[in-house]
């Protein structure tokens, strides 16, 4: 499978999600814009802050006819705990097999404490109602990011 490109349709995918369900991108085609944000790990400081920012702006995203999904390689049990603890009003999707992470090309070589490993690069994607990728943010810095994404969603 190739990777996503701006102004091109995003291939459909299905992932297990919180709330004991599977979510497919095609479920929203023709209905809502979709924000997919990829984050490294549940319950870590940056990921908690980012998720909290999406939570705090959730009503504004709803008014912009936009649904939000967080994606990481963590399992559903971890996602359920993270979502409940942080009161996220959106679903978290589990991509243990990294298929969607690879589709969006967010698995990158990272260095921490002198060791290299492959991990999820914090990234966000805005997909319109027709399933076309309209905007992407890579190497995201959390502060102010959600406001940028919201502004873009409001412009669709």
Just list the catalytic residues: 47
Is the pLDDT assigned to residue 140 strictly greater than 70?
yes
**pLDDT value of residue 114:** 84
Tell me how long the chain is.
156
pLDDT higher than 90, residue 111: no
Q: In what order do the strands lie in the sheet with 14-17?
A: 21-24, 14-17, 91-94, 66-72, 33-38, 123-127, 133-137
Task: Say what the pLDDT of residue 135 is.
Answer: 97
CB of 2 closer than 8 Å to CB of 64: no
What φ, ψ does residue 138 adopt, rounded to 5°?
Answer: -120, 160
pLDDT band at 113; cut points 50, 70, 90: confident
């Amino acid at each position: 499978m190739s990777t996503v490109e701006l102004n091109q349709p995003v291939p459909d995918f299905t992932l297990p999600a919180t709330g004991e369900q599977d979510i497919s991108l095609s479920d929203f085609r023709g209905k809502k814009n979709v924000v997919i944000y990829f984050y490294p790990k549940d319950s870590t400081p940056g990921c908690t802050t980012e998720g909290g920012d999406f939570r705090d702006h959730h009503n504004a995203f709803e008014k912009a006819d936009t649904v939000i999904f967080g994606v990481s390689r963590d399992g559903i049990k971890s996602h359920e705990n993270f979502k409940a603890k942080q009161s996220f009003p959106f679903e978290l999707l589990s991509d243990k097999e990294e298929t969607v992470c690879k589709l969006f090309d967010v698995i990158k070589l990272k260095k921490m404490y002198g060791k290299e490993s492959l991990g999820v690069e914090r990234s966000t994607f805005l997909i319109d109602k027709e399933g076309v990728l309209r905007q992407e943010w890579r190497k995201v810095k959390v502060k102010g990011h959600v406001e940028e994404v919201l502004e873009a969603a409001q412009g669709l």
